[in-house]
Amino acid sequence: VQYCNETLTRKASGSARVIYIIDDKKVLKLAKNEKGIAQNGVESDHMLNQWYGDIIAKVLESDDEDRWIVSEYAKKISPGKFKQLLGVSINQFHAYLAELHPDKKGGFYTEKIDDATRKILDVNNNEFMYDLVDMVGNWDMGIGDFSRISTFGEIDGRLVITDYGLTQEVYNTHYHKKPQGKY
């Protein structure tokens, strides 16, 4: 951590990881705790990177113990840029994703999805949505993080997911608060 703080530019930080810019093509995701190690482990999964490399910021290198990973650098995007890249707002996108995965935790949405939005996001016509729905199902991911603009970025003019390490297993093991005491 000291080395990174002294030699790299800090891009962002969450409850589990700190992201540092290595150069204009790569970032370092350094785990702060067990949650970060678990998320790095998911993101560095070879199959996940191979199957969904078109929609994620791919992991290029990783520590054997998942203390750190090096991923593709994705530029931050605004809600307006998200809409430009995908054709719908992030709120419409997430409401549609919640409709497709009602069993996943993702919040409550009153946003109405019109026919034009449905047509844009239809998994039969939209490769990004098709791959994301497939990834959520295959890796048992919750969809809550996909409501935040900070989960997305841009690489070479395409929308990518930059934070995809929270599976249901990671959530249950590291985030879910278990009841305390007797009932």
pLDDT at position 16 is 95
pLDDT at position 170 is 93
CB 31 within 8 A of CB 67: yes
Longest distance between any two alpha carbons in the chain, whole Å: 54
Return the HEC string of the chain: CHHHHHHCEEEEECCCEEEEECCCCEEEEEECCHHHHHHHHHHCCHHHHHHCCCCECCEEEECCCCCEEEEECCEECCHHHHHHHHCCCHHHHHHHHHHHCCCCCCCCCCCCCCHHHHHHHCCCCCHHHHHHHHHHHHCCECCHHHHCHHHEEEECCEEEECCCCCEHHHHHHHHCCCCCCCC
pLDDT at position 102 is 76
pLDDT at position 143 is 92
pLDDT at position 106 is 54
- Which two tokens mark 76? 């931050």
pLDDT at position 176 is 79
Q: pTM for the whole thing?
A: 0.91
CB 47 within 8 A of CB 58: no
Question: For 108-148, what is each residue's pLDDT tens digit?
Answer: 556 788 899 999 999 888 999 999 999 999 999 989 899 99
- Residues of the chain with confidence (pLDDT) below 50: none
